[in-house]
Amino acid sequence: MTYFSLAQKDICEYSETLNFQRDKERKVKLILMGAPGAGKGTHAKEISKKYTIPHISTGDILREEVRKDSGLGKKAKSYMDSGKLLPDDVIIEIIKKRLQEDDCKKGYLFDGFPRTIHQAELLDEVSVPDAVIYLKCPDDLIIKRLTGRRIGKNGRIYNVYFDPPPEGMEVYQRDDDNEETIRKRLQVFYDTFSPIMDFYKKKGIFHELRGDEEKEVVIGKIFTLLDGLK
Protein backbone atom coordinates (compact mmCIF):
# COMPACT_ATOMS: atom_id res chain seq x y z
CA MET A 1 0.00 0.00 0.00
CA THR A 2 1.41 3.40 -0.91
CA TYR A 3 1.71 6.20 1.57
CA PHE A 4 -1.00 8.11 -0.34
CA SER A 5 -3.59 5.28 -0.34
CA LEU A 6 -2.96 4.57 3.32
CA ALA A 7 -3.52 8.19 4.24
CA GLN A 8 -6.64 8.30 2.11
CA LYS A 9 -7.98 5.15 3.81
CA ASP A 10 -7.35 6.71 7.22
CA ILE A 11 -9.13 9.88 6.21
CA CYS A 12 -12.12 7.86 4.94
CA GLU A 13 -12.32 5.85 8.15
CA TYR A 14 -12.04 9.00 10.23
CA SER A 15 -14.81 10.73 8.30
CA GLU A 16 -17.01 7.60 8.56
CA THR A 17 -16.54 7.71 12.33
CA LEU A 18 -17.56 11.35 12.32
CA ASN A 19 -20.64 10.62 10.21
CA PHE A 20 -21.58 7.77 12.51
CA GLN A 21 -21.31 10.03 15.53
CA ARG A 22 -23.39 12.68 13.78
CA ASP A 23 -26.03 10.09 12.90
CA LYS A 24 -26.14 8.91 16.46
CA GLU A 25 -26.62 12.46 17.71
CA ARG A 26 -28.99 13.58 14.99
CA LYS A 27 -32.41 14.55 16.27
CA VAL A 28 -35.51 14.68 14.13
CA LYS A 29 -37.86 17.22 15.69
CA LEU A 30 -41.19 17.46 13.92
CA ILE A 31 -44.63 18.95 14.32
CA LEU A 32 -47.64 17.65 12.43
CA MET A 33 -50.40 20.23 12.23
CA GLY A 34 -53.89 20.16 10.86
CA ALA A 35 -57.50 20.50 11.88
CA PRO A 36 -58.94 17.61 13.86
CA GLY A 37 -59.56 14.82 11.36
CA ALA A 38 -56.91 15.99 8.87
CA GLY A 39 -55.13 12.63 9.31
CA LYS A 40 -52.42 13.63 11.77
CA GLY A 41 -52.77 10.52 13.95
CA THR A 42 -52.74 8.11 11.01
CA HIS A 43 -49.66 9.62 9.35
CA ALA A 44 -47.88 10.25 12.65
CA LYS A 45 -47.72 6.49 13.27
CA GLU A 46 -45.89 5.93 9.94
CA ILE A 47 -43.52 8.86 10.45
CA SER A 48 -42.70 7.74 13.97
CA LYS A 49 -41.89 4.22 12.71
CA LYS A 50 -39.72 5.38 9.81
CA TYR A 51 -37.64 7.92 11.76
CA THR A 52 -37.78 6.00 15.09
CA ILE A 53 -39.01 9.01 17.02
CA PRO A 54 -41.84 9.00 19.57
CA HIS A 55 -45.28 10.08 18.41
CA ILE A 56 -46.45 12.51 21.07
CA SER A 57 -50.13 13.33 20.90
CA THR A 58 -51.31 15.68 23.65
CA GLY A 59 -54.87 14.48 22.96
CA ASP A 60 -53.81 10.83 23.58
CA ILE A 61 -51.96 11.80 26.76
CA LEU A 62 -55.05 13.65 28.03
CA ARG A 63 -57.42 10.81 27.08
CA GLU A 64 -55.21 8.41 29.03
CA GLU A 65 -55.44 10.72 32.07
CA VAL A 66 -59.24 10.82 31.68
CA ARG A 67 -59.29 7.02 31.50
CA LYS A 68 -57.21 6.78 34.69
CA ASP A 69 -59.53 9.35 36.30
CA SER A 70 -56.48 11.27 37.59
CA GLY A 71 -56.60 14.85 38.84
CA LEU A 72 -55.44 16.06 35.42
CA GLY A 73 -57.95 13.77 33.72
CA LYS A 74 -60.84 15.17 35.78
CA LYS A 75 -59.81 18.69 34.87
CA ALA A 76 -59.25 17.85 31.18
CA LYS A 77 -62.55 16.05 30.60
CA SER A 78 -64.85 19.07 30.69
CA TYR A 79 -62.61 20.99 28.25
CA MET A 80 -62.35 18.02 25.91
CA ASP A 81 -66.05 17.17 25.94
CA SER A 82 -66.90 20.71 24.94
CA GLY A 83 -64.12 20.94 22.32
CA LYS A 84 -62.28 23.70 24.19
CA LEU A 85 -58.51 23.93 24.64
CA LEU A 86 -56.91 23.26 28.01
CA PRO A 87 -54.90 26.14 29.51
CA ASP A 88 -51.43 26.58 27.99
CA ASP A 89 -49.60 26.14 31.31
CA VAL A 90 -51.16 22.69 31.81
CA ILE A 91 -50.16 21.59 28.29
CA ILE A 92 -46.63 22.96 28.43
CA GLU A 93 -45.99 21.15 31.72
CA ILE A 94 -47.09 17.90 30.08
CA ILE A 95 -44.75 18.56 27.14
CA LYS A 96 -41.73 19.50 29.27
CA LYS A 97 -42.13 16.33 31.30
CA ARG A 98 -42.58 14.18 28.20
CA LEU A 99 -39.48 15.65 26.49
CA GLN A 100 -37.34 14.50 29.42
CA GLU A 101 -38.14 10.87 28.71
CA ASP A 102 -35.39 8.75 27.18
CA ASP A 103 -37.08 8.10 23.83
CA CYS A 104 -36.98 11.85 23.02
CA LYS A 105 -33.18 11.73 22.75
CA LYS A 106 -33.63 10.96 19.02
CA GLY A 107 -36.26 13.66 18.57
CA TYR A 108 -40.03 13.75 18.54
CA LEU A 109 -43.14 14.11 16.48
CA PHE A 110 -45.83 16.30 17.99
CA ASP A 111 -49.42 15.77 16.97
CA GLY A 112 -51.99 18.22 18.33
CA PHE A 113 -49.34 20.46 19.86
CA PRO A 114 -48.77 23.43 19.72
CA ARG A 115 -52.40 24.56 19.50
CA THR A 116 -51.84 28.24 20.41
CA ILE A 117 -49.17 30.78 19.57
CA HIS A 118 -48.22 30.87 23.25
CA GLN A 119 -47.62 27.11 23.23
CA ALA A 120 -45.46 27.51 20.07
CA GLU A 121 -43.39 30.25 21.73
CA LEU A 122 -42.96 28.23 24.91
CA LEU A 123 -41.89 25.16 22.94
CA ASP A 124 -39.22 27.28 21.24
CA GLU A 125 -37.71 28.04 24.64
CA VAL A 126 -37.33 24.33 25.34
CA SER A 127 -36.70 22.84 21.89
CA VAL A 128 -36.72 24.36 18.40
CA PRO A 129 -38.44 22.09 15.85
CA ASP A 130 -36.81 21.26 12.48
CA ALA A 131 -39.99 21.14 10.44
CA VAL A 132 -43.71 21.78 10.72
CA ILE A 133 -45.99 19.94 8.30
CA TYR A 134 -49.52 21.25 7.89
CA LEU A 135 -52.09 18.85 6.41
CA LYS A 136 -54.78 20.94 4.75
CA CYS A 137 -58.20 19.34 4.48
CA PRO A 138 -61.70 20.60 3.52
CA ASP A 139 -64.27 20.80 6.36
CA ASP A 140 -66.90 18.50 4.78
CA LEU A 141 -64.37 15.66 4.53
CA ILE A 142 -63.24 16.30 8.11
CA ILE A 143 -66.83 16.06 9.42
CA LYS A 144 -67.30 12.75 7.58
CA ARG A 145 -63.98 11.38 8.81
CA LEU A 146 -64.68 12.31 12.44
CA THR A 147 -68.37 11.41 12.72
CA GLY A 148 -67.51 8.09 11.03
CA ARG A 149 -64.40 7.38 13.13
CA ARG A 150 -64.50 4.20 15.24
CA ILE A 151 -61.61 2.81 17.27
CA GLY A 152 -60.91 -0.90 17.76
CA LYS A 153 -59.68 -2.40 21.05
CA ASN A 154 -56.11 -2.59 19.66
CA GLY A 155 -56.17 1.12 18.77
CA ARG A 156 -56.76 0.50 15.04
CA ILE A 157 -58.86 3.30 13.58
CA TYR A 158 -61.81 2.46 11.30
CA ASN A 159 -64.36 4.63 9.53
CA VAL A 160 -67.95 3.59 8.99
CA TYR A 161 -67.98 5.38 5.59
CA PHE A 162 -64.51 4.63 4.19
CA ASP A 163 -63.04 1.69 6.11
CA PRO A 164 -65.75 -0.07 8.17
CA PRO A 165 -64.76 -2.35 11.04
CA PRO A 166 -65.35 -6.10 10.47
CA GLU A 167 -68.85 -7.38 11.39
CA GLY A 168 -69.21 -8.01 15.10
CA MET A 169 -65.98 -6.23 16.09
CA GLU A 170 -66.22 -4.22 19.27
CA VAL A 171 -65.34 -0.59 18.54
CA TYR A 172 -65.83 2.66 20.39
CA GLN A 173 -66.38 6.26 19.41
CA ARG A 174 -64.57 9.19 21.01
CA ASP A 175 -66.87 11.35 23.18
CA ASP A 176 -65.85 14.46 21.21
CA ASP A 177 -66.50 12.89 17.77
CA ASN A 178 -70.08 14.20 17.54
CA GLU A 179 -70.98 16.85 14.97
CA GLU A 180 -71.65 19.68 17.44
CA THR A 181 -68.29 19.25 19.21
CA ILE A 182 -66.48 18.68 15.91
CA ARG A 183 -67.72 22.04 14.59
CA LYS A 184 -66.60 23.69 17.82
CA ARG A 185 -63.17 21.99 17.57
CA LEU A 186 -62.83 23.14 13.96
CA GLN A 187 -63.71 26.71 14.92
CA VAL A 188 -61.13 26.63 17.73
CA PHE A 189 -58.54 25.30 15.27
CA TYR A 190 -59.13 28.04 12.68
CA ASP A 191 -59.19 30.76 15.38
CA THR A 192 -55.75 29.80 16.66
CA PHE A 193 -53.99 28.44 13.56
CA SER A 194 -52.97 31.62 11.64
CA PRO A 195 -50.55 33.09 14.18
CA ILE A 196 -48.89 29.69 14.65
CA MET A 197 -48.54 29.31 10.88
CA ASP A 198 -47.02 32.82 10.59
CA PHE A 199 -44.64 32.08 13.45
CA TYR A 200 -43.25 28.97 11.73
CA LYS A 201 -43.33 30.55 8.25
CA LYS A 202 -41.05 33.31 9.52
CA LYS A 203 -38.63 30.64 10.72
CA GLY A 204 -38.74 29.04 7.25
CA ILE A 205 -39.77 25.62 8.58
CA PHE A 206 -43.48 25.57 7.62
CA HIS A 207 -44.62 23.12 4.91
CA GLU A 208 -48.15 22.67 3.63
CA LEU A 209 -49.41 19.44 2.07
CA ARG A 210 -52.85 18.24 0.96
CA GLY A 211 -54.40 16.01 3.59
CA ASP A 212 -57.42 14.99 1.49
CA GLU A 213 -55.57 12.66 -0.89
CA GLU A 214 -55.25 8.87 -0.52
CA LYS A 215 -53.40 7.85 2.64
CA GLU A 216 -50.50 6.33 0.67
CA VAL A 217 -50.12 9.48 -1.45
CA VAL A 218 -50.02 11.77 1.58
CA ILE A 219 -47.50 9.68 3.50
CA GLY A 220 -45.36 9.38 0.34
CA LYS A 221 -45.26 13.17 0.05
CA ILE A 222 -44.44 13.54 3.75
CA PHE A 223 -41.50 11.11 3.46
CA THR A 224 -40.19 12.84 0.31
CA LEU A 225 -40.34 16.17 2.08
CA LEU A 226 -38.65 14.93 5.25
CA ASP A 227 -35.95 12.98 3.39
CA GLY A 228 -35.19 16.14 1.43
CA LEU A 229 -34.67 18.09 4.64
CA LYS A 230 -32.05 15.77 6.08
Whether residue 174 lies in the annotated active site:
yes
The C-alpha atoms of residue 196 and residue 178 are separated, in whole angstroms, by 26
Site string for ligand AMP, 53-72 (x = CB under 6 A): -----xx--x----------
Whether residue 150 lies in the annotated active site:
no
Beta-carbon contacts of residue 103 (< 8 Å; ≥ 6 apart): 53, 54
Closer Cβ to ligand AMP, 85 or 219, answer by number: 85
Task: Name the DSSP letter for residue 134.
Answer: E
Whether residue 40 lies in the annotated active site:
yes
Query: Among the options 75, 96, 144, 174, which is catalytic?
Result: 174
Say whether the peptide bond before residue 138 is cis (omega within 30 degrees of 0): no
Task: Name the DSSP letter for residue 35.
Answer: S
Task: Name the DSSP letter for residue 205.
Answer: -
Whether residue 149 lies in the annotated active site:
yes
Alpha helices in the chain (DSSP H): 3-25, 40-51, 58-68, 71-81, 88-99, 117-126, 139-147, 179-202, 215-229
Whether residue 115 lies in the annotated active site:
yes
Among residues 29, 43, 115, 149, the one that binds ligand AMP under rule CB under 6 A = 115
| Phi-psi sector, 129: left (phi>0), alpha (psi -120 to 50), beta | beta
Residues 143-182 that bind ligand AMP (CB under 6 A): 176
| Phi-psi sector, 112: left (phi>0), alpha (psi -120 to 50), beta | left
Query: Among the options 63, 145, 149, 150, which is catalytic?
Result: 149
Is there binding between residue 113 and ligand AMP (CB under 6 A)? Answer: yes
The window from 78-86, 129-137, 145-153, 215-223 that contacts ligand AMP (CB under 6 A) reads 78-86
Q: Three-state DSSP class for 135? A: strand
The window from 10-18, 84-92, 146-154, 212-220 that contacts ligand AMP (CB under 6 A) reads 84-92
The C-alpha atoms of residue 106 and residue 28 are separated, in whole angstroms, by 6
Closer Cβ to ligand AMP, 2 or 101, answer by number: 101
The window from 19-27, 109-117, 192-200, 222-230 that contacts ligand AMP (CB under 6 A) reads 109-117
CB of 123 to ligand AMP, least distance (A): 10
Query: Among the options 40, 63, 145, 150, which is catalytic?
Result: 40
| Site residues for ligand AMP per CB under 6 A | 36, 58-59, 62, 79-80, 83-86, 91, 112-113, 115, 119, 176, 185
Residues serving a catalytic function are 40, 115, 149, 174, 185
